[in-house]
A and B are shown apart, each in its own frame.
Chain A
């Protein structure tokens, strides 16, 4: 990518930070009216936003273990700390959630927005980490998939391109053919153009159920990453392993953070979810919030696969390797958070000596978790199912490989090439993706375009430059206009 600045304009002008940091998500969600972190004034609006069952319903496709990630765009789960998710709302999630998860929702309505937040973080992080790979964690909902299938001719596949802007935060940008304006996966407008019109989001609750029944036929489901299913059965690939790990980590992270803010009074005090009395707090204090976040994430994220394993065991059937793999990877994601907590200590003995020392843990950023998981992704182990004294276990496919640890990712089937569009294997292809001409890595044009070649085109980009940040909330910037050469895969 060659760049040439053709000059700055405007003298310093005060730009509010929020406006400048336009990278994706905050903004996008803001437009749908359910911004994470949009407070007070927006809250009222968000609160009136009625449960939009329509977004979630999925009667036609079997519920995949990560379909709950669709919660990331449920408008009803706006971040409204003082607004409860009603049991009816939980019921309406049935398309995306399995029964246990719906029960979790009813039991812990306060945590559902954390689950949603975790799902959003997970998807964002996944897309960031894989922005330069052939598989870039694109999310599509079932409707868009259908439209793809209908309109798609392999020649003009809509490309799902991830480019990073100045702040390196991923902004998924798509430049689809004109015919496909309404199915821009991943893009900001994709969320706008969601099948749910904004007006219906504000419809009164009474009408909701009827509406949802009406919509049920269309079988719309929320966004969740397209994960290749593998050629044989629905066997899990590396990518599936990553998505599972990051999403379970995302939920644990979000719940822990929420509990640490003290906004919820239902967070558990000790490691188990059971909790203790005020007397227990007086006697021995409380455990870290991460312990609680992890245990709740386990309950929610593992629900489907755990049920599957239990049911198969009870019926004496063979346990599916996919379920075991999912459980392992979910656990790996959570363990990674726990293991990467920063330990901080304070000495407070006699005269502040270290005779008495107290340590606690501080959470890593989610970016760090994503980065570590990416490494784990690259070093994931291929495993197969093996019955050891009546117990199903996963063991390395190759004998000389060492057994994966609790924190390693495992997969059971190898991934496709992701070069061409093939939804059945979960591949969107790399047609139309932007590539880096000079790079010899995975984002280089040769590798990313699968040697199909690429075209170069000139683009004029407006950018902010020479910025000075002022705590908390604004930056002084100049705007630069640059001409860049963009390379696009054929």
Chain B
């Protein structure tokens, strides 16, 4: 997987755009205002322009127009469907003015419309995609209160599109104020200070990254499906019912298959705004099944003579996983789910929404903490048991001792592999964050951490799952069908003895039984 990463560009890139200030004394919310091409809108360079004075332009007559993508190198660029999604972040350039400071709790009211157009459409024909009047908190601060200095305002999320289906987009934003002649005064947009410019950063996924990503998925999808079929055939050849861990492996494989399924190809043909929500759900399912697998994996190795092998035994631990995932799912539906209907919606825009979102996220965090407590406790117990059992090893016959030592060794190796994978993910994640957050201007060293991290981690977990399914598959060769007659100690030992590759879980349980009989 990582052989692909050097060629892959960063996962996403940004087109930062300065709004063109269109003016129209007779603003109509059915009309579009664009800045390039035929019949562009009437625009002003800045608000000090004499036209403002001459024509008595007020805030309601000013439309900030963003026509994306920006042409470059003489080419009229257009968005490709490979670019998947579009996120817009709005930023205001507010100059400090001692007569007109930005209120600390300023709320801006945005009248935003998003339209699209495609290649081949007659020029100037824009179709409405979404429109909304939204409110956003303006979070601004300033260090040196000197005229000419700019407030340091945080970017506010404007909209998110789950699919980039069309070629060109046009965003018209107004910051309306109360009409002078109306009696009701809402006082909207009056505390925003001396706005000079409006910028919007448009973030889209890179087509190159999507291609690498989708080809990874296309490669892994059949492989994982094949190994699962093979695994299930092995299981079904056994006379005993499948063990809990085998079920868990199947669930893990299924979740990964779902994640691997290259649904992204659909976006090339159809408008799929639901794609981000679906990807979130797919990814969430995989995380949930992986975390549950580890729990059960550790639980099934607690060599404490308690019959488990049933999912019900783990309800307490699993509820932490499920609770966390459910919280995130609800949060996701509240944010991205609603965005399917209104791309301008943001849960963070309102007080209640923010609290609700925070509540869900904190709850999910608590669940995650709980889960890690459970997991580390269980793993610690497994290791304690192993070391206590190991002391009885010298009493065994040499052949059996070598066998069990090998089993413990392999168990530890697999534990280590899991930890390594997890650690690599965490390190990669941190590296990605650092490399993205810190801007290095040294252009000589151009390493693409982020996409390398993504493809690398994705491939790693695929291989990890593949290896698990391979290693835990029971064999039918060494042990003929007459296994039932051979064993009398019960299901667990039969099961454990079946493994050619002495799987840790099964062999270890066998080992405990043996040492108990010894």
Contacts and interface: CB of A to CB of B under 8 A. Distances in A.
Contact of B52 (A16, A261, A362): A16
The interface residues of chain B, by DSSP majority, are classed as mixed
B27 interface: no
Contacts of B36: 262-263, 265
Contacts, number: 251
B323 interface: no
A88 to B, nearest CB: 23
A342 B13 contact: no
B262 interface: no
Interface residues of A, number: 79
Given A17-B47, A18-B53, A286-B15, A359 B99 contact: no
A365 B48 CA distance: 17
The interface residues of chain A, by DSSP majority, are classed as mixed
Contacts of A281: 69, 72, 75, 77
B207 A269 contact: no
Contacts of B309: none
Contacts of A343: 437, 439
B76 A265 contact: yes
Interface in B278-310: 279-280, 283-284
B49 A362 contact: no
Interface string B417-445: 00000000000010011001101010100
Interface in B396-434: 429, 432-433
Contacts of B331: 351
Interface string A247-262: 0000000000101111
Interface string B93-112: 10101011000000000000
B117 interface: no
Contact of B49 (A35, A261, A266): A35
Interface string A9-29: 000000011110100001000
A254 to B, nearest CB: 12
Given A262-B20, A283-B206, A362 B199 contact: yes
Contacts of B83: 282
Contacts of B97: 167, 469
B195 interface: yes
B173 interface: no
Nearest to B361: A351
Contacts of A261: 17-20, 35
Interface residues of B, number: 98
A400 interface: no
A342 B437 CA distance: 11
Nearest to B108: A471
A128 B147 CA distance: 12
A362 to B, nearest CB: 6
B12 interface: yes
Interface string A70-98: 00000000010000000000000000000
A342 B87 contact: no
A276 B73 CA distance: 7
A267 B195 CA distance: 26
A475 B100 CA distance: 10
Contact of A471 (B43, B190, B206, B336): B190
A472 B59 contact: yes
Contact of A364 (B56, B100, B150, B189): B150
Contact of A345 (B42, B56, B436): B436
A345 B155 CA distance: 9
B497 interface: no
Interface of A: 16-19, 21, 26, 30, 35-42, 79, 128, 167-169, 257, 259-269, 271, 275-278, 281-286, 288-289, 338-339, 341-346, 348, 350-352, 354-362, 364-365, 367-368, 467-475
15 contacts: A17-B47, A37-B49, A38-B45, A40-B51, A260-B70, A263-B35, A281-B69, A281-B72, A282-B207, A282-B208, A286-B72, A338-B441, A346-B203, A350-B279, A471-B190
